[in-house]
Amino acid sequence: MNSEEYIEVSIFPEPFSEEAAEIIEAALADLPYDAFVIGDNCLKAYIPKDLYDARMLKVVLEGMEWRTTFRAVLIPPANWNAAWESRFTPISVGRSVTVKSPQHKGLPRSRFNITLLPQMAFGTGHHQTTYMMMESMLEHEDAIRGHAVLDMGCGTGVLAILAAKMGASHVWGIDIDAVAARSAYDNVAINRLRRKVETYCGDASLLQMGKYDVILANIHRNIILQDLPTYVRSLRKGGLLLLSGFFDTDAAAILQGAQVQGLINYGQKESTAEDGSCWCCLAFQKPV
């Protein structure tokens, strides 16, 4: 986001739940919203004033399974990046990974140090799903080092950057959101990894660009289930698939879908957020 005028749209599904908010967010992926924030009783979506179309929004929301209302207000210009940076605190994953912004100075160095520019895209490492994905990547370092890695739904590019720093031979990052794809491109540059990491804006159809030894997908459950056959076709035999972005209650459906595709369950992680919601991360291997 920059200093232009934005519309803040508050969307109220009844009854409210984080799962409902995330499904609505996924449904709005084709509309030009720059950022989403899940609040206590609503999903807040941000869009440049000139791109806001209440009729299109209403069409999308009418297709939801919940009764859904919304309220739109104009918010004044602001330095969104400065606001984001002021809220972004550095994080550490064990003693191996540090994720920080350029303003953070004098931090102890880890094995893998990642700098993220202050832009509003998902994936700073603070969310349980991103954190668990990084933990899982560290546990499977041998599968990543020297191999081709694809990060589907890359957001800020933090997982793609970590894979490159872990020694992947080459990394591709894909996100359907143009703001996220640009954020990933900029973050790859600031981490001096342009020769090793390519970023693209698009959906899972772009996976046909090649074959991969490792696929990372930190995305909504419905998208994972929809694109799972594409992931499997694009994964080399013996390859690793790491999935997160969903609640523990969604794990059974994903495990079943993976079994249908012939994948072998390789491990499971869970992490509980402050609001009591429990998130999940699953690892699979494609049979040799």
194 domain residue, yes or no: yes
One domain for residues 52 and 132: no
User: Cα 271 vs. chain centroid, distance in angstroms?
Assistant: 16
* HSE of 55, CA atoms in CB hemisphere, 13 A: 0
87 domain residue, yes or no: no
Q: Which of 78, 103, 132 is the last residue of a domain?
A: 78
One domain for residues 133 and 251: yes
One domain for residues 45 and 171: no
One domain for residues 269 and 145: yes
The string of pLDDT tens digits covering residues 190-218 is 999 999 999 999 999 999 889 999 999 99
Structural domain span for residue 52: 6-78
Nearest partner of 137 among 195, 226, 218, 250, judged by Cα: 218
Mean local confidence (pLDDT), 25-31: 82
One domain for residues 68 and 164: no
For position 57, which CATH number holds? 3.30.70.100
- The yes-or-no verdict on residue 237 having pLDDT over 90 is yes
How many domains is the chain partitioned into structurally? 2
- Separation in Å, CA 221 to CA 27, 182, 248, 250: 13, 24, 11, 7
- The yes-or-no verdict on residue 1 having pLDDT over 60 is no
- Least confidently predicted of 61-70, 120-129, 187-196: 120-129
Q: Which sign does the torsion angle of CA 121, 125, 130, 134 carry?
A: positive
Residue % of the chain over a pLDDT of 70? 91
- Least confidently predicted of 12-26, 100-114, 126-140: 100-114
The string of pLDDT tens digits covering residues 75-112 is 766 555 555 555 567 888 988 999 988 777 777 778 99
One domain for residues 135 and 276: yes
One domain for residues 126 and 265: yes
